[in-house]
Amino acid sequence: MLEAILKDRYNNDVFTDNSTQLDLEIYEQSQSFITSPTLSKTASEGKVQFQISGTDIPGIGYFKVSSDPSLTENSFELIGQAPFDTERLIIDVMLDEDG
């Protein structure tokens, strides 16, 4: 059983997500080793489970799970990391009275 849990950028479970579509792709070279009866599911309370079974043929199987909408929009980007464009890197720091 493969369980995918949707997380936000702070690594919290997104238990309110009931609409993200997750697609399981078993790579062609692995299809003789592993199978799954379902290749697409919709999140329920931020979770999806896929049944993945091995065949009688020994080997290592590879697969990936993708989402729609893409989870790349849950990420952040640092612009101007050192040693490149350091003048564009802005970090706001809040200090208390003690520094």
Instruction: Provide the residue ranges of all domains of the chain, joining segments of one domain with +.
Output: 2-88
How many percent of the chain have pLDDT more than 70? Answer: 71
User: Among candidates 47, 50, 58, 60, which has minimal Cα distance to 16?
Assistant: 47
**pTM (global) more than 0.75:** no
How far is Cα 78 from Cα 54, in angstroms, rounded to an integer?
41
Instruction: Let me know if 11 is exposed, middle or buried by CB neighbors in 10 A (0-12, 13-18, 19+).
Output: exposed
The pLDDT tens digits for 61-76 are 888 888 888 766 554 3
CA atoms within 13 A on the CB side of 97: 0
Residue 20 pLDDT greater than 80, yes or no? yes
